[in-house]
A and B are shown apart, each in its own frame.
Chain A
């Protein structure tokens, strides 16, 4: 082989390596966006560790999100910009469970490297006796099945995030009334991940008694507000980070939700910004007059998929089309009553019902289905909930019914007839 050929081969190999690096970086970045608290067991953890330095730099530069990576796990502190979005909490949680989760963490923080479910429960009960909590009317005993279920839910959350690792036993029978005192589970506490659970900029206990934020709004800001440099550059960075955080984490950024100076910055920078973010994440920018969405062609980078399979998802898709059509016709802010959506679904049963699950077909089920559908649409920022109704938001138009090309071959038309 002559020198020229070997040079070109070398260049080729170098190029290949660069591409592999780029691919690994993208995989690691996407994995972190999906799992901001990642245990070392995660399939992409190896990639995250290898690309740690680049990732840390990227997240710090683009979104101002700190990233910690060590032997035991990785933590991306995804501080949110949109503090109004109530759809991004932990699934199946309510106020009581959040309190319980916090108390469980407080107990674990002080506990030995191992703990059992029973012991955790008992220690939490001791924490609940705190007068400050009692004054807020919070009670917790292990006596009722529902309370034990709450504890188990909290444990499962911690297990899911790798904070606890089950060593022996299981939580299943702990909930049942008979014999719950005999069933127990033993966990290892992963202290590093536990330490990463709280993402607050400032620890809630560090406020002096007089200055502690007194209501939920103040507390929300206390948790996420970081110091920004008081300079032109500092303010610009803060604006850019705020926008990038929403673009990376939220389905769509409507321009009219921005403050005037953020809007001005956004109009100037949205093109380059979207290109930069898309290049690194593999998302696709959808730039429209009303705002900007970074969509994921693979549909992996999301906790709520649309379109998706199944009755709920199908109904969601149909309602989205229905609302999109209405919005296209009026081309003005629109209020659609929930009744109307339920009625639409009632009719849809006749046409599509035979593919749906049985419980969704019975008369009256359309109300429940409508609630599920509207919640899904709300999560994706396709509608805004109003009193007794909804307001479709512009991006819902992407789900309008296009001219569907039904290429029916012999086989599939047969399947349709079946």
Chain B
């Protein structure tokens, strides 16, 4: 609408006028008549055709209202030339009424307005199915040698209509969820029912969306190469339908229509396929549908919260205030507070009495050992000394010493490893004497190998825990003996053939 003139505002005056109900009832009759292709109505037909709330108004009243509506421009009137039977009828101005163009527009507008207001937030699963089937049909059509433009046009028109519906619905759904006004004021049972419905619905829709949007996206993708020619043909066909004109105008019209179709197609693609950096609309819708669930839960918990507490808490607190006010002393109030609120933290003695032996239960506190209290705390009332912090000690020398010891130790271990890990089979009885470091390594290896052994006659092979050495231990006959001399004493047992190799070359 470009400008709102004085007359066009007049058209809406009957909605807010004193007798709005009467006017609306009359206009409803005319809207119904229009739907039934009746061109004009007489006042008595209006009176008979309208559904009045309460007692029907007098004929004069209706006539006056009709006159007023005609004055506002909602209706057009013309003198009624029909024959009359009485004098009074003849003297009374008689008119036939029909909807004016403006009045018709207002009716359409009001109907749309009403529909939008009543519109529930909903997501259509049927729409997805329709889109899918239409796209398939289109795909089939394009697969044929000669494209049937009429059919393609029909399919495309269908597709656009369905998508428009879906988009409009999705829009209302998103707005509706964001507001969740419906839930805020609802009582608990409504919320519970709504919750069940919404969750079921969302589940179904999201399932469908996931399932279908994938195939839809694929079909769209397949169509994308050949669709433009079809759109071109459809646009030309449409241009032929449009009002006639010269050839130039026809070409222009066709181009305009083609652009429009391309735009629609882009819109359709945008719903299911990623467009540049933007996620597809379907994805957004899915995200919003998912977000609707926590919102719903929030609304439910708010309702539950209102219900929680068996008694009226506010009244409880007021009564409690009186009880406190009625206390004889602050001590009584404290006692009452502990019982009423129970907010007090636990209270315990700190520090346990440190004794070596358990004190029997029947020893009096007077005879039991007392606390070990930090003497500083006992003397000064402070656990940590005042004054500057003690100086930080330099520990470079100790560090050096430690590093030296570590180096020495690792070189000894290395030497021991060289001595034992020869890679050649070696009988334990041939090893002879081992120094402390070598013996420690030997014992470690033996321990690892023996841990693997299920029975004493088994040959064991394994890698050490650090993975650096490979050990093979093969027992010899039962009566063989091996003795190892170490600084700690003599180690003896059944003789084995021991093979130790390093796993790292050159190590």
Q: Which residues of A contact B (CB under 8 A)?
A: 2, 33-37, 76-80, 83-90, 93-95, 98-99, 102-103, 105-107, 109-110, 127, 130, 132-133, 136-138, 161, 191-192, 194-195, 197-200, 203-206, 216, 219-220, 223-224, 248-252, 270-271, 283-284, 286-290, 293-299, 301-307, 309-311, 313-315, 317, 324, 327-328, 331, 352, 355-356, 379-380, 394-402, 404-406, 411-412, 415, 418
The 5 lowest CB-CB distance pairs between A and B, nearest first, are: A314-B381, A89-B334, A299-B350, A203-B311, A102-B321
- Please name all residues of chain B whose beta carbon is closer than 8 Å to the beta carbon of A33 when the two chains form the complex: 345-346
* A415 and B339 contacting across the interface, CB-CB below 8 Å: no
On whether the beta carbons of A297 and B361 are closer than 8 Å, the reply is no
- A130 contacts across to B, CB distance below 8 A: 318
**A398 adjacent to B339 (CB under 8 Å):** no
B312 A205 Cβ-Cβ under 8 A: yes
* Pairwise interchain contact A283-B348, C-beta atoms closer than 8 A: yes
Q: A89-B335, A289-B363, A296-B350 are in contact. Are A399 and B370 (CB under 8 A)?
A: yes
Contacts of B382 in A (CB 8 A): 309, 355
Residues A352 and B380 in contact, CB atoms below 8 Å apart: yes
Are the C-beta atoms of B348 and A296 separated by less than 8 Å?
Answer: yes
Selected contact of B337 from candidates A93, A309, A400, CB within 8 Å: A93
Tell which of B273-281, B325-333, B424-432 binds the partner: B325-333
Interface residues of chain B, those whose CB is within 8 Å of chain A, are 305, 308-353, 359, 361-366, 368-383, 385-387, 390, 452
Q: Given the interface contacts A199-B341, A205-B319, A251-B347, does A84 sit within 8 Å of B380 by beta carbon?
A: no
Residues of A within 8 A of B341 (CB): 90, 197-199
A-B contact list, 20 entries, CB within 8 Å: A95-B330, A103-B318, A106-B317, A195-B308, A197-B341, A198-B320, A199-B339, A216-B326, A249-B346, A252-B349, A287-B361, A288-B363, A295-B348, A297-B350, A306-B350, A309-B377, A355-B382, A395-B349, A404-B375, A412-B385
- Report whether A206 and B326 are in contact in the complex, using a CB–CB cutoff of 8 Å: no
In the bound complex, residues from chain B placing their C-beta under 8 Å from that of A250 are: 347
Which residues does chain B contribute within 8 Å of A136, judged by CB atoms? Answer: 322, 325-326
- Selected contact of A248 from candidates B346, B373, B385, CB within 8 Å: B346
Q: How far is the CA of A224 from the CA of B320 in the complex (A)?
A: 14
Query: In the bound complex, do residue A99 and residue B324 qualify as a contact, i.e. CB atoms below 8 Å apart?
Result: yes
User: Chain A's nearest CB lies how many Å from the CB of B467?
Assistant: 11
Residue of B nearest to A200 (CB): B340
Asked whether A303 and B381 contact (CB < 8 A) given A204-B323, A297-B352, the answer is no
In whole Å, how far is B42's beta carbon from the nearest beta carbon of chain A?
A: 58
Partner of B352, one of A89, A110, A195, A286: A286
Cross-chain contact A133 with B364 (CB below 8 angstroms): no
**Which residues of chain B are within 8 angstroms of A404 by Cβ–Cβ distance?**
373, 375, 378
Q: A84-B335, A85-B338, A307-B377 are in contact. List 16 more A-B contacts (CB 8 A).
A: A86-B335, A93-B334, A103-B317, A132-B322, A198-B320, A203-B316, A223-B339, A250-B347, A251-B347, A293-B348, A295-B350, A309-B381, A398-B353, A404-B373, A404-B375, A406-B375
How far apart sit A305 and B345, CA to CA, in the bound complex (Å)? 12
Please measure, in the bound complex, the distance between the C-alpha atom of A167 and the C-alpha atom of B351, giving whole angstroms.
41
Contact of B347 among A35, A133, A303 (CB under 8 A): A303
Cβ-neighbour of B318 out of A102, A223, A324 (below 8 A): A102
Contact residue among A192, A286, A324 (Cβ-Cβ distance under 8 Å from B349): A286
CA distance A130 to B315 in the complex (A): 12
CA distance A197 to B381 in the complex (A): 37
CB–CB A216/B383 < 8 A: no
Assess the A191–B305 pair: CB atoms within 8 A: yes
In the complex, A287→B368 CA distance in Å? 10
Complex Cα spacing A327 to B365, Å: 10
Partner among A93, A103, A286, A327 whose Cβ is within 8 Å of the Cβ of B333: A93
For B379, list chain A residues within 8 Å (CB).
Answer: 352
Residues of B within 8 A of A109 (CB): 313-314, 317
Known contacts A198-B340, A289-B363: does B314 contact A106 (CB below 8 Å)?
A: yes
Q: Which chain A residues border B347 with CB–CB below 8 Å?
A: 88, 249-251, 302-304, 379-380
Q: Quick check: A352 and B381 within 8 Å, CB to CB?
A: yes
Among residues of A, the one whose C-beta sits closest to the C-beta of B360 is: A287
